[in-house]
Amino acid sequence: MFLFYFWSFSDSDPFRIYAEFEMSLSNYRRARSILFQGAQSSSESSDGSLYNEKLSHLYHTWAVCEWQLGNLDRSEVLFDHSLRLTDAGTRGSDTRSFIFLSIARFLFHARKDFALAQHCVSLALTENTRSKASWMLWSKIANIMGNKTLSFACIQEADKISAKTRVENRDTLESVNNKNMNHMLRQAPWHYKIVDVNEKSWYDAINFPDDDLNFTEETRDSTQLLQETVAIHKK
């Protein structure tokens, strides 16, 4: 049994989830150790080196953890590692969009490199145009860079997405895409009555350093930001 037990293979998800839990309690050093072990364990396995979405998520969380600890250079390297592990095709599009958004947030808040942050946020939007958080961030960057018109346009886009999401929540066919098609078809007819089909994204559980700066869409209402920008624009 020993011989064959040796050749089992690893999964990095439990390490990431465990680390995110520690990060939520502000135990960043402990989280880093867990992420380090997870990365080591997954990289050593036969699945660790090719496109590996789970390992990509783990590197992303580790990058945010290093950002929290103030190791900005290492954080940048880890974001890069995370990007490299995403699938090059449309399959990796969602993950890449989130990673670019995180890099943009990092460059904007930690490095204060607004031009590069703008570049990254536009890359995030290339991967997924329906990310409200990306439009909001771009608006903020444009605002700081003095481009009020662009800022205003970005907020309008964010608002459109909010409106669309509200409509989609009323069970219209627009909400059907390839990703949730699997949850809709070949299911028992009572599935919808008892199972919550809205899965939380892996990105939502991460504790970002700029969450305190009222960045996220939950804490910052786009309408409020729109009013502020319009006021500035008028001045």
> From the list 7, 112, 231, 235, which residue makes contact with another protein (rule: CB under 8 A)?
7
> From the list 12, 61, 82, 207, which residue makes contact with another protein (rule: CB under 8 A)?
12
State the binding string over 85-124 for another protein (x if CB under 8 A, else -). x-----x---------------------------------
Q: Find the binding residues for another protein in span 57-76 (CB under 8 A).
A: 71, 74
Kindly indicate which of the ranges 29-37, 116-124, 144-152, 166-174 contains the residues binding another protein, using the contact rule CB under 8 A: 29-37
Q: Which is nearer to another protein, 22 or 157 (CB)?
A: 22
Q: Which is nearer to another protein, 44 or 218 (CB)?
A: 44
State the binding string over 31-50 for another protein (x if CB under 8 A, else -). -xxx-xxxxxxxxxxxxxxx
Q: Which is nearer to another protein, 97 or 118 (CB)?
A: 97
Distance from C-alpha of 56 to C-alpha of 75, rounded to nearest angstrom? 14
Distance from C-alpha of 48 to C-alpha of 106, rounded to nearest angstrom? 26
Distance from C-alpha of 102 to C-alpha of 127, rounded to nearest angstrom? 13
Is 173 a residue that touches another protein (CB under 8 A)? no
Distance from C-alpha of 119 to C-alpha of 139, rounded to nearest angstrom? 13
> From the list 57, 81, 105, 109, which residue makes contact with another protein (rule: CB under 8 A)?
81
Is 29 a residue that touches another protein (CB under 8 A)? yes
Distance from C-alpha of 43 to C-alpha of 81, rounded to nearest angstrom? 12
Is 30 a residue that touches another protein (CB under 8 A)? yes
Q: Who contacts 20 (Cβ-Cβ below 8 Å, separation ≥6)?
A: 31, 61, 205, 206, 207
Is 226 a residue that touches another protein (CB under 8 A)? no
Cβ distance 152 to 229 under 8 Å? Answer: yes
> From the list 112, 146, 170, 189, which residue makes contact with another protein (rule: CB under 8 A)?
189
DSSP sequence for 118-145:
HHHHHHHHHH-TT-HHHHHHHHHHHHHT
Q: Which whole-number Å values give the CA distances from 215 to 104, 111, 133, in the listed order?
A: 12, 16, 8
Cβ distance 34 to 79 under 8 Å? Answer: no
**Could you list the residues that contact another protein (CB under 8 A)?**
1-15, 17-18, 21, 25, 29-30, 32-34, 36-50, 71, 74, 77-78, 81, 84-85, 91, 176, 178, 181-182, 184-186, 188-191, 193-195
